[in-house]
Amino acid sequence: MKINHLARINILKLNPYQSARKLGGKGNIWLNANEAPTSFTYINKNYNNLNRYPDCQPKTIIRNYASYAGVQPDQILVSRGADEGIELLMRAFCEPNKDAIIFCPPTYGMYNICAETLGIKRHIIPSIANTNWQLDLPAINLKLKNVKLIYICNPNNPTGNIINQYDIKKLLHLINNRALLIIDEAYIDFCLHASLVSWLSKFSNLVILRTLSKAFALAGLRCGFTIANAEIIKLLLKVITPYPLPSLVIDIAEQALTKKGLSQTNKRINTINKNRNYLAQELTKCPCIKQVFPSVSNYILIKVYPQYEVFKKLWNMGIILRDQSKQLGLSNCIRITIGTYQECKYVANILQQLNTT
Ligand SMILES: *Cc1c(COP(=O)(O)O)cnc(C)c1O
C-alpha cells in the first residue's frame, strides 16, 4: 500500500532540520553542535519507582531554576529541551493556516521547521548584515498583520552577536497587545548580564526560552525552560504532554541545579569564555579566514576564502565544524564550537597553516 498520499502536504514538502548529529562525520574533534566539550558524571539513584509516572512539572527543578533565573516558580515551564518550548508556544497561540510567526535569519533553524510542520505562516525578515545582524525594525513593522509570535535568538545562533536592547524594547512597544515576543536565550548563560528576564515584570507579552543543553553541558539530557508571566505558562501547561520529562532526566536536572551543580557550571562558563577569546584572537592570524565575527557565546562564526576549502579539509582530518553557507547571508561561513583549550589550540594551528592547494 502506498502511504505518502495519506500524509499532510506540508509534511511531504518539508525539508527536515539537519541536526549536527544527522549530518554525521568521522573524527575526534567535534565542534559542530555547540555542545560542551566535557561532561560531569552524575550519580544515578537506585531506581525502584519506575513503575510510576513522573511529575509533569517537578517542583525542585522549577523552584531551583526559578531561583537561578530570578523569577517566581509560576513563571516557569520545564520541557523536553527548549525545542519543545518553541513548539508549545506555536501550538498554544497560532491558528494553523491563519496566524503567522516572524523570525530573522540567519538564525536558529527550528522556528521555521516547527511552523512549517504545524501549518503556521512564516514571515521571514532577514537581519541587517552590515550592522552585525541587528533587527530590521521597519521591515518587521510592515509584516505584523496576523503575527502572533516573533522569535528572536539572543545571543544569536550562528552569528554570536547580542541584539540591541533598545531595538527589542522598541519592538515590544510596537507589538504591544498584538503578539508575543520570544527571546531564545539558549546561550545567555555565557553572558548573563544580557538576559532580558528582568523585563518580564514590565512586558506581559515577553517570553524567554532557556536550556540545560549548552552552558550546563547537558545536551543529552533534553531539558529546557520557558519563562514568562504566569498567564502564559498556564496556557502552555494545557498543551504540554502529561509526562514530558522521564524520571531519570528529572533526577539529573535536579543535581545540575544544586548549589554544587551551579558552581560547576559557572566554572565551565568561565573556561569556555576564556577559550573563546583565545580562539578568536588566534583566528585573526589565519590566511584562509576573511572575517571573524565577534561572539559572546560558545561558538565563533568565521567567513573563509573559498579556495582554501576549509570545511572539507578539516572534515577529512576528523575536525567536524558546522557549515553555514546555505543560511541566508552566510555564504562561505563556518561556525566553530568552543572546545577544550587543547582543541582550540589544535584547530587554530591547523587553520593558520592551511593553504590553497
Ligand atoms: C540548541 C538550541 C536550542 C535547543 O535547545 P534544546 O534545549 O537542546 O532543545 C534552542 N535554541 C537555540 C538558539 C539553540 O541553539
Q: What is the pLDDT of residues 268-323, one digit of tens each?
A: 999 999 999 999 999 999 999 999 999 999 999 999 999 999 999 999 999 999 99
pLDDT at 254 over 90: yes
Of all protein residues, the one whose alpha carbon is nearest to atom 11 of ligand 1 is: 186
Q: What pLDDT score does 234 carry? A: 98
Of all protein residues, the one whose alpha carbon is nearest to atom 12 of ligand 1 is: 186
Q: Which atom of ligand 1 is nearest to the CA of 223?
A: 7
- Residue span(s) of the chain under CATH 3.90.1150.10 come to 4-38+261-353
Going by pLDDT thresholds of 50, 70 and 90, the confidence category of residue 41 is confident
Give the angle subtended at the CA of 258 by the CAs of 86 and 36, to the nearest 5°: 55
Q: In whole angstroms, what is the distance from residue 38 CA to residue 332 CA?
A: 29
Q: Which atom of ligand 1 is nearest to the CA of 83?
A: 9
To test the ligand 1 pocket, which listed residue (108, 112, 151, 335) has its Cβ within 8 A of the most ligand atoms? 108
Q: Which atom of ligand 1 is nearest to the CA of 81?
A: 7
What the block records as the C-alpha cell of 149 is 509570535
Going by pLDDT thresholds of 50, 70 and 90, the confidence category of residue 14 is confident
Going by pLDDT thresholds of 50, 70 and 90, the confidence category of residue 244 is very high
Say how many Å lie between the CA of residue 83 and the centre of ligand 1.
6
* Helix, strand, coil shares, percent, the chain, to 5: 40, 15, 40
Say how many Å lie between the CA of residue 287 and the centre of ligand 1.
32
- Total number of residues shown for the chain: 357
pLDDT in tens, 19-38: 877 888 888 999 999 999 99
Q: What pLDDT score does 86 carry? A: 98
Q: In this structure, are residues 251 and 292 in contact, taking their beta carbons and an 8 Å threshold?
A: no
Say how many Å lie between the CA of residue 186 and the centre of ligand 1.
6
- When pLDDT is averaged across residues 60-66 and rounded to a whole number, the result is 98
Q: What pLDDT score does 283 carry? A: 98
Q: Which atom of ligand 1 is nearest to the CA of 107?
A: 13
Q: What is the largest CA-CA distance in the chain?
A: 61
Q: Which atom of ligand 1 is nearest to the CA of 157?
A: 13
Q: What pLDDT score does 218 carry? A: 97
Q: Which atom of ligand 1 is nearest to the CA of 212?
A: 7
CA 281 vs. chain centroid, Å, equals 25
Say how many Å lie between the CA of residue 211 and the centre of ligand 1.
7
Q: What pLDDT score does 16 carry? A: 83
Q: In this structure, are residues 205 and 196 in contact, taking their beta carbons and an 8 Å threshold?
A: no
To test the ligand 1 pocket, which listed residue (214, 298, 324) has its Cβ within 8 A of the most ligand atoms? 214
pLDDT at 17 over 90: no
- Residue span(s) of the chain under CATH 3.40.640.10 come to 53-260
Residue 54's φ and ψ, nearest 5 degrees, are -80, 170
pLDDT at 61 over 90: yes
CATH architecture of 53-260: 3-Layer(aba) Sandwich (3.40)
What the block records as the C-alpha cell of 339 is 572546545
- DSSP line for 73-86: GGGEEEESHHHHHH
To test the ligand 1 pocket, which listed residue (32, 90, 110) has its Cβ within 8 A of the most ligand atoms? 110
CB-side neighbour CA atoms (13 Å) of 331: 2
pLDDT at 48 over 90: no
Q: What pLDDT score does 15 carry? A: 85
pLDDT in tens, 151-197: 999 999 999 999 999 999 999 999 988 999 999 999 999 999 999 99
Q: What pLDDT score does 128 carry? A: 95
- When pLDDT is averaged across residues 251-278 and rounded to a whole number, the result is 97
Place of cell 519507582: 49
Which residues are near ligand 1 (CB < 6 Å)? 34, 81-83, 108, 153, 157, 184, 186, 211, 213, 219, 224
pLDDT at 46 over 80: no
pLDDT at 324 over 80: yes
Q: What pLDDT score does 26 carry? A: 86
For the CA atoms of 326, 24, 290, 105, the dihedral, rounded to the nearest 10 degrees, stands at 30
What CATH homologous superfamily does 4-38+261-353 map to?
Aspartate Aminotransferase, domain 1 (3.90.1150.10)
Q: Which of 327, 332, 336, 337 is nearest to 112 (CA)?
A: 327
Q: Considering just the CA atoms, what is the radius of gyration of the chain in Å?
A: 21
Identify residue 335 by its one-letter amino acid code. R
